[in-house]
Amino acid sequence: MTDRPHLTEVCATTEAGDFEAHRSPDGVTVTMPCVHKFGGTSVDGPERLKALAAIIRDQRDHSVVVVSAMAGVSNELSQLVDAATTGGNKPELPDASTTLAAMKQRHLDALQAIVEEEAARAPLAARINEIFEGATQLLGEGPGGETGRFGDQLMAVGEDLAVELTVAALETEGISATVLDARDIIWTNSDFGAAVPDFESIRRLAPASILPLVEDGRVPVIQGFIGSEAGGATTTLGRGGSDFTATLLGAALGSPEVVLWTDVDGIHSADPSLVTESRVVSDVGSEEAVELSYFGARVIHPAAAKHAIASALPLRIKNSFAPERPGTLIHSDRGAAAAFAAVAHKTDVALIRVRAFPTALAYGFLARVFGVLGRHAVPVDLVATSHSSTAFTVDRDEDLSAVRRALSVFSEVDVLKDVATVTVVGRGMLREPGMDALVFWAVEKTPVYLISQASDVSISFVVDEAEAPDLVRRLHLSLIELKEAAREDEATASKGKEGDQT
């Protein structure tokens, strides 16, 4: 029997970008572990954690597991952070000790349901208690001028708890599993709340810490969403960032595939919670996936989509409630997928409209506007311009007062906050003749502030937030449902003709 090469050895010989086959120095090919990320609803209580364990048990290859906090936990923690950093005694903000007590009970109840034997449960319950003692102490000390650092440390509690319960569920299922702390692998800069990963370090650290465990037949279980900065403080990658953790690890390990397990069957042609007629799309091209995620399809985090593509890493989105269903494959190469169309919307945006003073010079206006945005580091999503005015969307949570002041020196400025962007994504579709008519038929009844189409991959509209759900439904009806029905009619008619001729 040939000795199986050590994954660590193989990885050491792997060049960046060579993710297909991994060979040991003596030429034996092995498969790197797949990364499986489970979102909040997929770890939400004992039944879901048992389902997670069954999914991992059924995998043919080695697995690495990444988990988010249980559903709702990160939102509760975020409210505690707000209360501690800004709210003080605001009555609408929750009482910290009541929230923490309920959260603790929820995790202890889950543990009790997963691990029936008291002796086996005790050390895990002690660990959960320890995490809550840390959170209580942190809240007692308060942010002390270090809001970002404080916030990320508290936010990490959700994922710290989730890994403990996940290991318990896997072990109960007879799968040997170990917690690996993401802080030791996902090194980042110090931009708390939206930390930027240090790809080079992760590429080195991930194989070194993960592969020996895998070699040993253990499943490493790692917190999504969190990492650490050079001083050792906990950082987070931004809300929804567990998807990004999974692709960072998948790329660093040279995984054949990263699977994002969630609560829907894959990428739909629109958010299924909004459009019940939406269809699951079996495969999506890389650019479409990035565009969809940027414009609001939260089923995948934009940074994860971008990173997977840059690393030539295939991504699959699957339903943890129905693992037998095929899900959606996001191809890592441009244009590999079949024609595809989807509609997304995003509500956390603001629209800034800037109009040059009539006395302003006829040139240099746009340069001045974007110069201001660049200096204040405000990222812009959509833009439309005419000769003396421009309008663009930015993240609604940005503090825009300084930008507004700077722009007001040479222009009239207004900022609309109750707006949303609605975007149609689909390269093949947007090139078809007659498509514009269908798009504008859907938009006809909706007042639009801005239209933007910079590529043939997507077209976006900025509308009042209250109008967005309806516009999504109308675009879906016009571009997907009615077109599909027309195609079916055509197919039936041409079959009929063939039948007549025989």
The rounded distance, in Å, linking the Cα atoms of 291 and 328 is 16
Identify whether the C-beta of residue 295 lies closer than 8 Å to the C-beta of residue 345: yes
Give the residue from 387, 388, 394 showing the smallest Cα distance to 372: 394
Choose between 225 and 461: whose C-beta lies nearer to ligand ASP. Answer: 225
Give the count of alpha carbons within 13 A of 378, CB side only: 27
Q: Assign residue 135 a region (left: φ > 0; alpha: ψ between -120 and 50; beta: otherwise).
A: alpha
Q: Minimum CB separation from ligand ADP for residue 239, in Å?
A: 9
Strands 63-67 and 219-223: parallel
Contacts to ligand ASP by CB under 6 A: 39-40, 68-69, 74, 158, 224-225, 239-242
**DSSP letter assigned to residue 428:** H
**CA–CA separation, 183 vs 186, rounded Å?**
6
286 neighbors 331 (Cβ within 8 angstroms):
yes
- Interacting partner of 271 out of ligand ADP, ligand ASP, Mg ion, none (Cβ under 5 to 8 A depending on kind): ligand ADP
Comparison of 48 and 218: residue with beta carbon closer to ligand ASP: 48
Closer to ligand ASP by CB, 5 or 40: give it: 40
Three-state SS sequence of 422-489? EEEECHHHHHCCCHHHHHHHHHCCCCEEEEECCCCCEEEEEEEHHHHHHHHHHHHHHHHHHHHHHHHH
For ligand ASP, the closer CB: 74 or 460: 74
Cα–Cα dist 297/333, whole Å: 20
Measured from the CB atom, the residue of 70 and 384 that comes closer to ligand ADP is: 70
In terms of DSSP H, where are the helices of 115-145?
118-141
68 or 172: whose CB is closer to ligand ADP?
Answer: 68
What Cα–Cα distance (Å) separates residue 111 from each residue in 156, 170, 352?
19, 12, 49
User: What is the Cβ-side half-sphere exposure of residue 414, based on CA atoms within 13 angstroms?
Assistant: 6
The item of ligand ASP, ligand ADP, Mg ion, none sharing an interface with residue 342, based on CB under 5 to 8 Å by kind, is ligand ADP
Residue 241 interacts with which of Mg ion, ligand ASP, ligand ADP, none, CB < 5 to 8 Å by class: ligand ASP
Give the shortest CB-244-to-ligand ADP separation in angstroms. 11
Residue 243, token pair as written in the block: 């998807």
The C-alpha atoms of residue 394 and residue 170 are separated, in whole angstroms, by 43
Q: Give min distance, CB of 305 to Mg ion, in A.
A: 12
| 486 C-beta neighbours (distance < 10 Å), count | 10
Q: Whole-number minimum distance, CB 426 to ligand ADP, in Å?
A: 12
CB 203, CB 187: distance < 8 Å: no
Looking only at residues 3 through 42 of this chain, which bind Mg ion when binding is defined by CB under 5 A? 39
What count of other Cβ atoms lies within 10 Å of the Cβ of residue 409? 10
- Residue 327 engages Mg ion in binding (rule: CB under 5 A): no
How far apart CA 2 and CA 30 sit, in angstroms, is 12
Site membership for Mg ion, residue 240 (CB under 5 A)? yes
In the complex, minimum distance from the CB of residue 37 to ligand ASP, in angstroms, rounded to a whole number: 8
Smallest gap from residue 242 Cβ to ligand ADP (A): 7
- What are the φ/ψ torsions at residue 345 (nearest 5 degrees)? -145, 155
The dihedrals phi and psi of 268, each to the nearest 5 degrees, come to -100, 165
- For residue 32, give the DSSP letter: P
Cα 269 from Cα 6, distance rounded (Å) = 43
CB of 241 vs ligand ADP, minimal distance in Å? 10
Q: Nearer Cβ to Mg ion, position 262 or 390?
A: 262
Comparison of 74 and 286: residue with beta carbon closer to ligand ASP: 74
Q: Which is nearer to ligand ADP, 73 or 439 (CB)?
A: 73
239: partner contacted, choices Mg ion, ligand ADP, ligand ASP, none (Cβ within 5-8 A by kind) = ligand ASP
Residue whose CB is less far from Mg ion, 37 or 218: 37
- What is the closest distance, in whole angstroms, from the C-beta atom of residue 297 to Mg ion in the complex? 10
Positions that interact with ligand ADP (CB under 6 A): 39-42, 68, 240, 262-264, 267-268, 270-273, 297-299, 342, 344
Evaluate whether 305 touches 290 at the Cβ level (below 8 Å): yes
Residue 381 φ/ψ, nearest 5 degrees? -95, -70
Output the smallest distance, CB 224 to ligand ASP, in A.
Answer: 5
Q: Which does 263 bind (CB under 5 to 8 A by kind): Mg ion, ligand ASP, ligand ADP, none?
A: ligand ADP
> Min. distance of Cβ 128 from Mg ion in angstroms?
24
Nearer to ligand ASP, 121 or 239 (CB): 239
Contact flag: residue 220 with Mg ion (CB under 5 A) = no
Question: Which of 329/382 has CB closer to Mg ion?
Answer: 329
Neighbours of 230 (CB within 10 A): 11
Alpha-carbon gap, residue 91 to 474, rounded angstroms: 40
Which one of Mg ion, ligand ADP, ligand ASP, none is in contact with 273 (Cβ closer than 5 to 8 A by kind)? Answer: ligand ADP
Radius of gyration, CA atoms only, the chain: 25
What's the min distance (Å) between Cβ of 481 and ligand ASP? Answer: 31
Interface segment toward Mg ion; rule CB under 5 A; list 186-194, 239-247, 399-407, 489-497:
239-247
Query: Are 423 and 458 spatial neighbours (Cβ–Cβ below 8 Å)?
Result: yes
Residue 158 near Mg ion by CB under 5 A: no
* Binds 158: which of Mg ion, ligand ASP, ligand ADP, none (CB < 5-8 Å by kind): ligand ASP
Chain contacts with Mg ion (rule: CB under 5 A): 39, 240
